[in-house]
Amino acid sequence: MKLKDIIPGKLGFGTAPLGNMFRDIPEAEARATVDAAWNDGIRYFDNAPFYGAGLAEIRMGEALAGRPRQDYVISTKVGRIILDQVQDVSARDLGEKGDVFKYGRPNKIVNDYSADATMRSIEDSLERLKTDHIEIVWVHDVAQDFYGDEWLGIFESARKGAFRALDRLRDEGVIKAWGLGVNRVEPIELLLALEEPRPDGFLLAGRYSLLDHERALQRVMPQVATRGLGIVVGGPYSSGALVGGPNFEYAPARPEILDRVARIKAIADRHGVSMKAAGLQFALANPAVAAVIPGASQPGRIAEDRAALNEVVPANFWRELRSAGLVSPAAPLPIAD
């Protein structure tokens, strides 16, 4: 089954912020944000054990527990086991993400991409999410940003373990789809080059945005589209940089990024276009993209995302971005060229 046939709607909800990403979010605020997403009509929710060491899954599970399960789709991730044992959060090695989840639960996180760990991870997620099934499973972070020079060894471990286990679960009908959930293009290239197993799609965060899309366009988007697979775009606002935030890639934005944002915004302002609309609609214009999942930790953000999705963006805005060299000549745009 194609990813686009599994995921309801173009706009999903990325739940990383519910794991206390960057700040300690009150329970009531987290609950209100999930409720706002539901009331808006969002029916695709992406999660991961990594988000706050299980906190995001617990919060989402509580918030959705009273909703009809057949009415929504969940994706979560494998590759990390969350233990009951606690640890010093400051001692965790989270690669480039540093202390992103320092306000999450202090439970120990163990990286493990074996088949047995994959099955255990799914069972643990089912419990935290208060559900009896998960539609989509992504293999989380088998990439350079977490494992540096060791990433190819981690990928190979996942190939022998998680990939084969998930391929089997999909073929048996236990899950509907699987793939990689990564912040880098290279692991997707590597998996697409294998004869087996057969993923259904990918969650690609931060690599198909207005601020960074060249490599994805060159290396994976055409292959994904040709094979009838799908991409879920995470991080469409580039950690907030695109919409005026200080961070890009979970760290303070570099001067060249801030300059690019300013140039895009100047054109957007001339055309009366919001930066959120530019970011979301750019991502969704690519035929390989099944959905986009901006994160939110405040109820008001959901309404902003929906308004951005529905905003009428003039064709000349996209043409000016193209002529200014701010989008790749190869990038599909939401206009008829």
Which active-site residues does the annotation give?
46, 51, 77
State the pairing for strand pair 201-205/177-182.
Answer: parallel
197 prior amide bond cis, ω within 30? yes
Q: Which residue has the tokens 């529905």?
A: 310
275-284 vs 255-271: helix crossing angle, rounded to 10: 100
Nearest to 331 by CA among 213, 207, 202, 211: 213
Nearest to 98 by CA among 230, 201, 232, 247: 247
How far is it, in rounded angstroms, from Cα 304 to Cα 11? 12
How far is it, in rounded angstroms, from Cα 293 to Cα 72? 14
DSSP 155-208: HHHHIIIIIHHHHHHHHTTSSSEEEEEES-SHHHHHHHTSSS----EEEEESSS
Rg (CA), the chain: 19
Per-residue b/e over 129-139, b at no fewer than 16 CB within 10 Å?
bbbeebbbbbb
For the record, the structure tokens of 335 come out as 């206009």
Residues across the chain = 337
